[in-house]
Amino acid sequence: EGMKTDYLMKHGHSDFSVRSSSVRALAVRCGCDTRHEEAVIRYSDIICREFVSAGIMQDSMRLRELLLYAARLHDIGAFISYERHNVFSYTIIRNSYLAGFDNSELEWMALLTRFHHGSFPNAGSRFLLEMDKRSVPDFLRYAMILKIADILDRGRDGAVDEIRAELLNGTVNLTITTYSDLSMVEWKLSSIAKDFENAFGLRLNVEYLRV
C-alpha cells in the first residue's frame, strides 16, 4: 500500500493518501467484513483490467480508482440492515463528506454501491437523471463490474483464484478459476446476463474451472 501511495503521489495524485485514508476509516467505523471487501476490491480490479485488455471497454484511471473505493465501501450499510444495505450504503457515502472527494465523485461512488445488490438500472433510470448523459454508459459498465465482483465472493471465502476475459463475436467469455464449489455464483451470474448486455451491449458467457 505504501509503495502504491508513493508512486501515485509522484505522478501527480497528491490527494491519494487522503482519499484512501478517509475511505478506509469509514469502512472501519461501519464494521465492514475486511476479508470480503478485499476480495471484492481484487476482483473488481482484475475484471476492469481484463475488460480493458480484451477491448471490452476503455480504461480510465480515475473511474477505476472510484470503483475500487466503492468496492471497499459497498457493504457499509449492512450494520443498519442487511436487507436494504445497498440503499443505506448509498445514503452513508452521500452524506459522509469524505476527505479528498468532490460532490460528483461521492455521488458516483454512492450510486455504484447502490446497485451492487438488488435490481440494476438501465440508462433511463430515475436514479441517473441528474448524471451527465455522456457519463451514464461508463457508470453502468463500472457498476456492473462491481456487481460481478461482489457475486464472485458470494461465499465470502475468496475462493476465486483467477479471472480471464475474452471478447469473441459479440460475446464476453469470462473464465473463472476456483478451488471451491461456485454453484450459487453460477446461478446468480446467469440471472444478470440481461443486465450485463444492457450495460455493455455484449452477451455474457461464463465458464468455471475447478482446481
Query: Domain with 67 in it: what CATH number?
Result: 1.10.3210.10
Q: Is residue 92 part of a domain?
A: yes
Question: Does the residue 201 lie in any domain?
Answer: no
- Residue 26 lies inside a defined structural domain of this protein: yes
Q: d(Cα 142, Cα 16) in Å, to the nearest integer?
A: 20
**What count of other Cβ atoms lies within 10 Å of the Cβ of residue 63?**
20
Q: Give pLDDT, residue 2.
A: 43
Count Cβ neighbours within 10 Å for each residue of 11-33 and write b for 16 or more, e otherwise.
eeeeebbebbebbbebbeebebe
CA 78 from chain center: how many Å?
17
How many CB atoms neighbour CB 118 within 10 A?
A: 12
Give the max Cα distance, the chain: 46
Asked whether residue 86 is domain-assigned, the answer is yes
Split into its structural domains, the chain has a count of 1
- What does residue 203 show for φ and ψ, rounded to 5 degrees? -80, 160
Contact 115, 122 (CB under 8 A): no
**Which pLDDT score, from 0 to 100, does residue 6 have?**
52
**Res 17: pLDDT:** 83
- Domain extent, residue 128, equals 2-157
Asked if residue 80 is part of any domain, the answer here is: yes
Residue 210 lies in a domain: no
Q: Are 9 and 21 in contact (CB under 8 A)?
A: no
From residue 128, give the alpha-carbon distance in Å to each of 111, 155, 168, 197, 203: 9, 31, 30, 18, 23
Q: Which mean pLDDT values do the consecutive 10-residue runs of the chain (211 residues) have?
A: 48 67 96 96 98 98 97 96 94 95 97 98 96 97 99 95 98 97 95 98 97 89
Is residue 183 a part of any domain in this protein?
no
CB 3 within 8 A of CB 17: no
3-state secondary structure of 161: strand
Q: Rounded to an integer, what is the distance from CA 88 to the centroid of its chain?
A: 17
